[in-house]
Amino acid sequence: MAAHNNYVCSVVPPYLLTALADSEHNSEEIRTSARHCLEFSKNYISKRQRVFAELTAPRGARGAAAPHRHQGFIPDTLLKHIAESEDVDEDTRSNARRDLEHIVSVQAKYQETQGIAAEPKTLATLSASAPSKAETTYRAVYDAHNDQNENNLPGTVVRVEGQKAVSDEAANQAFDNAGNVLSFYLDIFGWKSIDNKNMNVISSVHFGKYYENAFWDPEIAQMVYGDGHNFLGNFTNAVDVIGHELTHAVTEHTSPLDYTGQSGALNEHISDTFGVMVKQRVQDETADAADWLIGEECLMPGVKGVALRSMKAPGTAYNDPRFGKDPQPDNFKDYEAISDDNGGVHLYSGIPNKAFYLSATAFGGYSWEKAGKIWWETLQSGQIPPRCTFIQFADATVDKAEELFGDDAAAIVRKAWNEVGVIRKKHA
């Protein structure tokens, strides 16, 4: 398998971890830790490749498998736990009982139609033929106990929907910030949870020893957070990071984009875009007032930098001899095909990121009012192919801007793409 396919989507880009691992300015302990994080990422690539192959395969294609989505643990077990917990408020217990009763009835009907008298099927098994009509999105946070064996996820339950804050601050942050992301999608776009069907949102904190990353696992469909180490950490307290990762799941349910090359960079761009909008909403910032930084909470004290990425000025987020300078280009003229990082999915996301920043600030107001709505409706349009190029995506956003807000809006979006070098060629 090619080396460039050895990374799962995660908020800390592989080029930063590689720089940590290679820099002679770092101790051997730090370099070993960074190499360990990179090596662990290799375990997930087969999952991501399989998931996107399923999601982007043409319907009816010979040999194409139906997408297999599940939720990290058996949902009816979670509902039973919530329904019986004395730590949960009565409204949430009532909702859990209601949804649990619905699941039981769905299972019974399924078994009846299939002539099954054996043990009940789980909701995950039933989802393809009899999806749940749950009216509540349930969050749950687990403690991975610094175990880096993904087979042991999610871990031990720490906090569930309706339960008050617990003593583990990382668990509270993961729980609350997942709620901020969910409320953003629901309130702004009318989108329920990450699949528009109130899918449970599961998180595991304290994953691995000194694990310097956070990621969405696409196969077990849950968030995973490491505690970090000397330079990178604090992932659960970064709402834009959580927004970024959960948006990868939303993208799976809107316009799945192959995680390679330009389409993969667009996949990363969409996560950065919606992640930063979540942060701006939480902080009540207009596009003009916002800093447009991704992961500013994740750089530990003493690091020479401001964030993991800058959407406003790609390539300026950090410059530290211990892991180098932010390598993101901000213009398509600097794009070249590479083999690392799945074809540069993290590296080149800065180009469309800046186009969104330019669009949002040109429109003014809150970023989600016009620019965000254009990008969201573009994802819903059915016009984004799995191997979408930058110019295809640019054209689609321009068309959507015109449809939603008229010619002037379309001109603003086109100008933003032109400024980052994504220009529609003119033919004589």
This prediction has a pTM of 0.80
Check whether 403 has a pLDDT greater than 60: yes
| pLDDT, the chain, mean | 82
- The answer to whether residue 7 sits within a structural domain is no
Check whether 298 has a pLDDT greater than 70: yes
- The answer to whether residue 149 sits within a structural domain is no
- The answer to whether residue 160 sits within a structural domain is no
User: Alpha-carbon torsion 351, 353, 355, 357, what sign?
Assistant: negative
- The answer to whether residue 314 sits within a structural domain is yes
Give ∠ CA 104-105-109 in degrees, rounded to 5: 120
* Mean pLDDT on 385-406: 97
- Which band of pLDDT confidence, cut at 50, 70 and 90, is reported for residue 341? confident
What is the enclosing helix (H) or strand (E) of 50?
A: helix 45-56
Looking up tokens 């595991």, which residue turns up? 204
- The answer to whether residue 315 sits within a structural domain is yes
Check whether 237 has a pLDDT greater than 90: yes
- The answer to whether residue 184 sits within a structural domain is no
Residue span of the structural domain in which 370 resides: 256-419
Per-residue pLDDT reduced to its tens digit, 145-159 = 999 888 899 999 999
* Mean pLDDT on 131-136: 59
Check whether 94 has a pLDDT greater than 60: yes
* Mean pLDDT on 186-195: 96
Give the pLDDT confidence score for residue 404 in this predicted structure.
Answer: 98
Domain count, the chain: 1
Integer Cα distance of 352 and 328 in angstroms? 11
- The DSSP output letter for 320 is E
- Which band of pLDDT confidence, cut at 50, 70 and 90, is reported for residue 65? very low
Closest-CA residue to 197 (of 306, 75, 307): 75
Give the pLDDT confidence score for residue 67 in this predicted structure.
Answer: 44
Give the pLDDT confidence score for residue 347 in this predicted structure.
Answer: 94
Please state which of the ranges 3-12, 175-184, 208-217 shows the lowest mean pLDDT: 3-12
Output the domain CATH number for residue 336: 1.10.390.10
- The answer to whether residue 108 sits within a structural domain is no
**Mutual angle of helices 407-419 and 350-363, in 10-degree steps:** 140
Catalytic residues: 245, 346
- The answer to whether residue 148 sits within a structural domain is no
Strand 222-225 with 214-217, pairing: antiparallel
What is the enclosing helix (H) or strand (E) of 139?
A: strand 139-143
Please state which of the ranges 100-104, 286-290, 371-375 shows the lowest mean pLDDT: 100-104
Q: Where are the alpha helices (DSSP H) in 290-370?
A: 341-344, 350-363
Per-residue pLDDT reduced to its tens digit, 217-230 = 887 889 999 998 77
